[in-house]
Structure 1
Amino acid sequence: MTASGDTHAGGLRERKKARTRAAIQDHALRLYLEQGYAATTIEQIAEAAEVSQSTFFRYFSTKAETVLYDRLDPVLMDSLLNQPAELSPLAAVRAAIHQVLDQLKPDELELEQTRWRLVAQEPELRSALTDHIAQPTALLTETIAQRVGREPDDIAIVIWAGGLIGAIYAAFFAALQDPDADLIEYIDGAIARLEAGLPL
């Protein structure tokens, strides 16, 4: 097989894996919404997704990961890289968030909101979140470094990414205290305050 054929096959395999992972997560979130996180078993998730438990564990090592895994992260990073060059890094992040979330269908947005609420409500998930934050932070660090033409280990890049992630998570938890809050508005507002130099 030619190199281009190998690349194409690899791309198809990756897309199939992504679809399987997304399907398992969708079924898990729907079950959590219907019967609660604690009451839902991995066996039930696998059955709903029509996969074996061994297949489940190939994609998620724990039940908590079905909630903590954010499939939108790579999509957001792609959008961030493709924002107009004249936008500042923070303005590009805001634009990317709106671009990606505005394209979600109502049922997709509902599942995302379910995922966010579960993270805030379930003690197991809140405890696991601290370790999980390292993954999106590293992804953001690499992406913004690529966008501005600097190295990911540049201390200014590292601090910038950490500050942004911190602001987003602070907005996330603040929004979840208000049942009428628009989470996207909270996050957008947090980034706007960073742009303005965090005025008090």
Structure 2
Amino acid sequence: MDVTPHIPCLAERRAGLGLRERKKLKTRAAIRRAMYRLIAQEGYEATTVEQIAEAAEVSPSTVFRYFPVKEDIVLSDDHDLVMAEVLRSRPADEPVLESLRFVIAQGLRSMLRDQPEEVYARTRLMVEVPSVRARMAESMSGTAQLLTEILAERTGRDPAGLELRLFVSTVIGALREVTVYWGERGFQDDLFALLDQGIAMLRDLGPHD
């Protein structure tokens, strides 16, 4: 019997939001879709925020309100809150690394299910465009902070404490390198096998009581 818990997709999460929040998510998604269409035609560097705004039928100021820099359009996928919900649902006595492995794997599955073309396009840009890869490190630090705060609540640790903060950042950094490696090799490898390989290398580094 399949006992894998149901992982909410973005559409399901939107259903529980108010009208204003749903409109925000819809606008963000329209801007991302417009950007990827333009990049496919013109290339990343040649694609301007003004072109993206016109294609998404919004103003350039709206684009900047949602995405302070162009790289953020590539890297923002609205899945962090889904990952947070899944992490909060994990057993209280589950080892921290196992919780993170589960959440990351399910987050990737959710993205590949909801937005597969965007996942491949984003990963190619991470490999090919230095500014996207640099901004990715900043973006993932926000993800690490969110997950650290949730784990701190569960374990009673200080979210600003070095051990948990450093460990979660290390796991998220491993995810970044696994993803870039996957893209560099033309997506020929099994992404989830690569993730498990990376997690296995971190098992002895987890926080200890």
Say what the alpha-carbon RMSD is for the aligned residues.
2.4
Match of 1:184 in 2: 192
Asked if residue 124 in structure 1 is aligned to residue 131 in structure 2, the reply is yes
- The whole-number CA distance in structure 1 between the counterparts of 2:200 and 2:25 is 32
Deviations 1:63-121 (A, max 9, x none): 11111224212211211111233432221222223333334465612212211221221
Q: For 1:34 and 1:143, how far apart are their aligned partners in 2?
A: 41
Q: Secondary structure at the match of 1:64?
A: helix
Q: How many equivalent pairs are there?
A: 189
How far, CA to CA, are the matches of 1:138 and 1:114 in structure 2? Answer: 26
Deviation of 1:50 (Å): 1.5
- Report what 1:59 is aligned to: 66
Instruction: Give the SS at the match of 1:153.
Output: coil
- Sort the Cα spacing of 1:107 and 1:152 in 2 relative to 1 into closer, same or farther, 3 A: closer
In 1, the alpha carbon distance for the partners of 2:166 and 2:110 equals: 30
Unaligned runs of 5+ in 1: 1-9
Question: Structure 1 residues 31 and 173 mapped into 2: Cα distance closer, same or farther (>3 Å)?
Answer: same
Could you tell me whether the CA contact under 8 Å between 1:30 and 1:111 is conserved in 2? no
Q: How do 1:5-16 and structure 2 match up within 5 A?
A: 11-16=18-23
Task: Give the Cα separation in 1 of the matches to 2:118 and 2:192.
Answer: 15
The answer on 1:172 being equivalent to 2:179 is yes
Q: Which amino acid in structure 1 is aligned with residue 133 of structure 2?
A: R
Judged with a 3 Å threshold, the aligned counterparts in structure 2 of structure 1 residues 168 and 101 are, in CA distance, closer, same or farther, namely closer
Q: Which has the higher mean CA deviation after the structures are superposed, 151-160 or 24-33?
A: 24-33
Question: Structure 1 residue 59: deviation in Å?
Answer: 0.7
Gap change, CA 1:125 and 1:103, over 3 Å in 2: closer
Answering whether residue 44 of structure 2 is matched by residue 37 of structure 1, we say yes
Distance change (3 Å), C-alpha of 1:157 and 1:131: same
Moved more, 47-56 or 182-191: 182-191
- How many angstroms apart in 1 are the aligned matches of 2:34 and 2:197? 32
Structure 1 counterpart of 2:102: 95
Instruction: Show structure 2 runs of 5+ residues with no match.
Output: 1-16
Task: Tell me, in whole angstroms, the C-alpha distance in 2 between the residues paired with 1:197 and 1:131.
Answer: 23
Cα deviation for residue 16 of structure 1 reads: 2.1
Which of 115, 123, 138 in structure 1 is aligned with 2:122? 115
Please report the TM-score for the alignment, with normalisation by the length of structure 1.
Answer: 0.81
Tell me which residue corresponds to 1:193.
201
Q: Would the alpha carbon gap of residues 26 and 196 (structure 1) be closer, same or farther in structure 2, given more than 3 Å must change? A: farther
